[in-house]
Every structure is written in C-alpha cells, then in structure tokens.
Structure 1
Amino acid sequence: MNIKNNDPGVLKSFRRDQAAAQNGISLGLIKNVYDGAIEYTAIAAGMRGMIMLAGLMTAAFGIWWGQFFLFDVLENRKFGPFMLSVIFCSMLFFISSAYFAIKFTRLELFRPEDEPTLFDRKNRKVYRIYREVYAGWRGLLTPWPVKTAEYDWDLIDVQHHAAVTTTGSTVSRQHGLIFLVRKTATDPTLVDSFSIGNSIQMGEVTVPAVWEHLRRFMEEDGPHLPPGEVLRLAERPTTFWQCMASTGPYGANFRLWWHEQTALMVLGVIFFPIVFPIMTLLGIFNWLSYKTSIPIKWSPSVQAAINASSPKHS
C-alpha cells in the first residue's frame, strides 16, 4: 500500500509492486538467514560506544559554554536584567548538558546486545526485539524494558525519510528507511514505527537500494542475500584490548589501516593529540557497552515459526 503523507520529511512512500532501485543491497546488516526469513542487526559493526562518546562530548561542550558565560558575568559583577538572562542561559546549558550526558550514557550501557528485526516471508510476519526508551527527565529515571513485537507484513508501509541538520557552517540531510505499522487493514491508525540501518549508513541512494532487496525477498521470493554480499559476522569482543582494537588503529590495526586508508592515517598522525584521546575513549566506551550488554534470544514461538533450528547457510 502506498500511503499519502504531507510530512516534508518524507521523500517517498515505497510501493511493494514497484522497484525502488535497479539493484538491492543490505549494507552488511543481515546477520542470520533461515529457510524463509532474514534477520537484520540494529547495531552496525564498530558502533558500540559511539552514542556514549557523542553524548559526553556534547555535554562537555555545553558545560564549557555555560561556565564561559557564567564566569564572565561573575567577573564583571554587574547583575542587571541582561546579565541575569545570561545566568539563566548558563543554567540551561548546565541542565541540558546533564540531561544529554545521562541519557546517552543510559542508551549505551545495559542495552540489549542487539535489537534485531526479523522478516518472515513464509508467514508474512515481522518480529522485533527492542528496548523501549522513554523521553524527558521522568523517562530518564524510569526503567527501559526490553520488548518483543510481532506485526503483519501486510499492515506495514515503508517510507524514505530525510531530516535536515546543520552545524552552523554546513547543512546536510540524514536519511532513514522507516516502517510504519497500521492498526488493521481497515484502520490506518499508526500503532508503531521502526527502522533498519542508521543515518551513517543510509543515504539518498542507499535507502531505496536497501528497501529494494527487502521488497524482492518478501514479495518476489528474492534471494536472502544480495549477490556478492555475505552475512554480517557477529563476533563479540571478549577482552578490553579486543574492544580497543575494534575501534582504533591499535596493534596490528595500525599497519592494516595505514595500508588501506593512508590519507586518513596521515591526518590521524598529524592531529594525534586530538585523535588519540577520542579513539581511546571510544574503545573504553565500546568495552563498557559490551560488558553491560543484555543477552537476547527469540521466543520459542518465533523460533518455531522460522524453523530457527535449521538456519540456511548462504
């Protein structure tokens, strides 16, 4: 079904009976394949720890700006209406920074080891394991439960979304492949939504191509994996040093990265005082994320539906 949507963030509503791209791709997101099902991972390789790093860096930036304005007011010792507004803004910086630091840390720690999505063409079902995250300060201080959801494939509409972001000097668009779940065949009320991939992987060209592979698989008995692609390796680092090696040019990675990405490595060496602390923090946060991760598994009913005891090797 091709639904209409006046949201300017929706670039396209995809049709199931119409090709969205010449070729389909998976971007290495498929982690398991079964006789009539494919399982997508939600956490791209090397991404664990990135959320926490981004949140803490954002918080540090906000605290720095807040104290900069606050100390300027205290040094001048002039507490007129303008200065009081500056103090108020400084407090907002501190509060917002604390919120981002806590929320992004919670997003990374004690999260499920994966939040996969399973597309079952045999039974025309979609299954998800995900952590429900609540917004606001109240939600920040409440438990975030891990849940499982099951949807009818025929009640799902798929869209290409794009959001404009700016850093002050540059403007870019973040793309997403979004799945919207309707209540019933006769009631278009949206009851849930989810996505596969992330804004780093997804782009204007890759979103239609990722959908095209899934469309062919579910609607046209297409292959489990796109031609030339392999399953995502789900190897989990078991030690601190393995986590460090998975996120930065440490040990044997230095020579490998130097050979494959010489230009970036040269820049990394030049800006070593900046790059090294960031990569080290990312490795530490990666280790903390794995160390506190929550094991997951599909329910017996889902495993029976997809015949999980007999995975298909592609």
Structure 2
Amino acid sequence: MSTKTLNLIKHGDYIASGLESVGPEEPAEVQGKDALSGVARRFTPRAPCSDDPTALNTIRAVYPNAIELMGATSTTQLRGIMILVALGLLGFCAFIFPFGIQIFWEAIQILDGQALFTMLSVVIAAWVAWRFGLAPIPGLLRADLFAPDNQPLIFDRKHQRVYRLFDPNQDQAKDRWWTRKPLLLQGVEYHWSCITAEHRVQIITRGNSVTRVHGLVLVARDFPKKNEPQGRLLDEFPVTSSMLLGETTVPRLWEHLRRYMEDNGPALPEGEVLQNDERPKTLWQSLGVVSPFGPQFLRWWRDSRLMTIFVFIGLPITLPVFTLWGMGNWLSHQTMRPTIWPKEVHERIGQPLQAA
C-alpha cells in the first residue's frame, strides 16, 4: 500500500462548498424544540445540555487523548441501503413508465382538447419521474459502491482539535470511481473553541405520513476578527447517521462529546461498547447484519425483540426487502476502498488503546 498522504489543512484555510447556514448565526433555539424543520436547538462547548450523556455506540476507537467516531455513512449495517433505495426507484419507474406510454399513445389517437391536456400531463409526469426517480440513481449507487471504508471524525482532547477526514474528490466528477485502490483522505482541523453544534430537524413526507428526521451537525467558524461578533463560516458536517438519532438522543450525544473535550469525561460512557467494525465477508453474513434472517438471529432477538417480531409478521414484504438490502450490503463491503489518513493526524493521536 502506498505511504503517500495528504497534508492536514489548518484551521481557517478551508471553506466547504454548499454550506446550508449562510451569514451570521441566529440566537440559540431561534425556532424552538417544536420546530418542524430547521434548527431546533443550538449547543455550545461550555453549556451542559443533558444529565444522561451517551455515545450511541458510535465510537470506533479510543486513543490516549482522543476518540474516533464512525463516519456518518460508514456504519456496517447502513451500507447497502442506498443500493436498496436505487433499486426501489428503478422498480417504481419501470412500473409506471409503460402506463404513461400507453396513455400517451391512446391520447395521440384522439387528438382533441382533453387528449392534449392528457398528453401534457404525461410529459410532466415523465419529467418528474426522470428528475426525481432515475436521475438520482447513479449518485445513490456511488454512495455505496467503491466507497471509502471509513471517513471518521476525531476529537483530540490533548490538542483541543476536531479532525474531519473526507474524500477530497467527493464533490467532483470522477472518471474512474469504480476502483478499489486505497483512497487518500483529506484532513482538516478545527479548534474546539470555534465549534458549535446544531440539532437540526427535517420533515420528510411519505404519502399520508410525515416524519421528523433529527441530526446533530457541527458548525465550524474562523476566529473572529476585530469588531466582528463571530468569525466567518468555514464548514458544517454531521455527527453520525441521522438514522441513529432522535428528539432526545441528539443532546445526549453532544453532551458526551462536550464532557469528553471540556470536562475530562470518559471516552466511553459506562455500559457502552465500541462500534462493531466486523465486516461481513459473505452474503449470508450481510443478511445477518441488516436483518434477523441471517446468522445473527439470536442477537436480534435479544437486542431488538419487538422489531424482530414485526419483521416476521410482515414476512411477505420484509423478506424480499431485507434480502435486497443484504445483497446491497454485501456488494458495498466487497467493493469498499481502504483509506489512508494524513500522517500528521496519526502522529498527534498516537496508537489506539481500544479499537473495534
């Protein structure tokens, strides 16, 4: 494996593209905990926000004075879910396009006012299906196939830094993304004192149901200049996957990170374990990772009994869905690219005391 690494970008030398929060930061809790969408709550490093901190089993390794959190898209179980979504969109479009073509052809035969309206409606529906059904599929597949094995966040208590490691080409078109060659991760450091956190809520509508998706996002700003209330916005990035977070767990996760960096808190909360980093090697093992249908049935029954019961009650639906997810999970792990961190990050945090 190549020993070449990318240099660590210093605080203030990198501004991320596509930032959601533009301009001055609004007052904390500007929308409140009941906000349907947007920032529900804002946290700072010095203000406690929960009496029951948790790491949600997202910590991948513990170093002498640093902790490594599994990247938001690197969790073993979640791999393959984008392939499942892509297959769902492809199946939906394959189902409705023949009907659209048939209706369009029948309207051509008539060619009256009502037929013209029908033809226009079919054309608009076809464009919507293409724009939101077929067009996202390549991006969804790229998120799971030939993706980096891990893009972690590292909280360095000794140097009071947060390191974000990411694919330097992730926002650019790549001619050959279908490769398993080791991927050089770009690292950028942020001073802990310049970090704030936001509890963000997003509304997702599915048919007649509405779901609130919760996320914990870190916001990095530069050191403020003279006569500036706050520094320029540099970056914002999620802490772990939103699928692991809820209304009450977002502040609990932030409180764990805050106590570790500010109050010399424990790397792992009492009773919690490191993130399971065992990668499935066979399709059968991948089925056990994503569902109770594989070799991990007893673990699912012990840890998620209610969900296991629901899965078997809905067997005609859940079996094909989890089978496809398991296949995607297996493909994702088979094509996974090993990553190489910046040498400077390794030198700062040392060797892990505990690793998954």
Specify the TM-score bucket, using the shorter chain as the normaliser: 0.7 to 0.9
CA deviations 1:291-313 (Å, max 9, x no partner) are 111111322211111122x5258
Please tell me whether residue 150 in structure 1 is matched to residue 189 in structure 2: yes
User: Mapping of 1:197-212 within 5 angstroms?
Assistant: 197-212=240-255
161, 179, 185: which one aligns with 1:125: 161
Which residue type is aligned with residue 151 of structure 1?
Answer: Y
1:29 equivalent in structure 2: 58
Please tell me whether residue 173 in structure 1 is matched to residue 212 in structure 2: yes
Using CA pairs below 8 Å that are at least 6 residues apart, which structure has the higher relative contact order? Answer: 2
Question: 1:19, CA displacement in angstroms?
Answer: 0.9
2:280 equivalent in structure 1: 237
Structure 1 pair 291–221 and aligned structure 2 pair: CA distance change class (3 A)? same
1:91 equivalent in structure 2: 126
2:90 equivalent in structure 1: 59
SS in 1 for 2:264: coil
Kept after mapping to 1: 8 A contact 2:286/2:294? no
Please tell me whether residue 116 in structure 1 is matched to residue 145 in structure 2: no
The TM-score with structure 1 as length reference comes to 0.87
1:19 equivalent in structure 2: 48
Distance 1:184 1:32 in 2: 30
Kept after mapping to 1: 8 A contact 2:284/2:295? no
Which residue type is aligned with residue 117 of structure 1?
Answer: L
Structure 1 pair 35–253 and aligned structure 2 pair: CA distance change class (3 A)? closer
Question: 1:11, CA displacement in angstroms?
Answer: 0.9
CA deviations 1:189-229 (Å, max 9, x no partner) are 21211111222111110000000000001111111111211
Which residue type is aligned with residue 19 of structure 1?
Answer: P
Distance 1:260 1:41 in 2: 21
Distance 1:198 1:238 in 2: 23
User: Mapping of 1:244-259 within 5 angstroms?
Assistant: 244-254=287-297, 257=300
1:163 equivalent in structure 2: 202
The alignment covers a number of residue pairs equal to 308
Please tell me whether residue 107 in structure 1 is matched to residue 143 in structure 2: yes
SS in 2 for 1:33: strand
Greater share of helix residues, 1 or 2? 1
Structure 1 pair 114–237 and aligned structure 2 pair: CA distance change class (3 A)? same
Which residue type is aligned with residue 150 of structure 1?
Answer: E
Which residue type is aligned with residue 69 of structure 1?
Answer: G
Instruction: Give the root-mean-square deviation of aligned CA atoms.
Output: 2.7
- Identity percentage over the alignment? 31
2:70 equivalent in structure 1: 41
The TM-score with structure 2 as length reference comes to 0.78
Structure 1 pair 238–90 and aligned structure 2 pair: CA distance change class (3 A)? same
5+ residue gaps, structure 1: none
Kept after mapping to 1: 8 A contact 2:45/2:193? no
Q: Which runs of 4+ in 1 moved over 6 A?
A: none
Please tell me whether residue 4 in structure 1 is matched to residue 18 in structure 2: no
308, 311, 328: which one aligns with 1:285: 328
Deviates more, 1:38-47 or 1:66-75: 66-75
SS in 2 for 1:200: helix
Distance 1:64 1:306 in 2: 53
5+ residue gaps, structure 2: 1-23, 32-36, 178-182
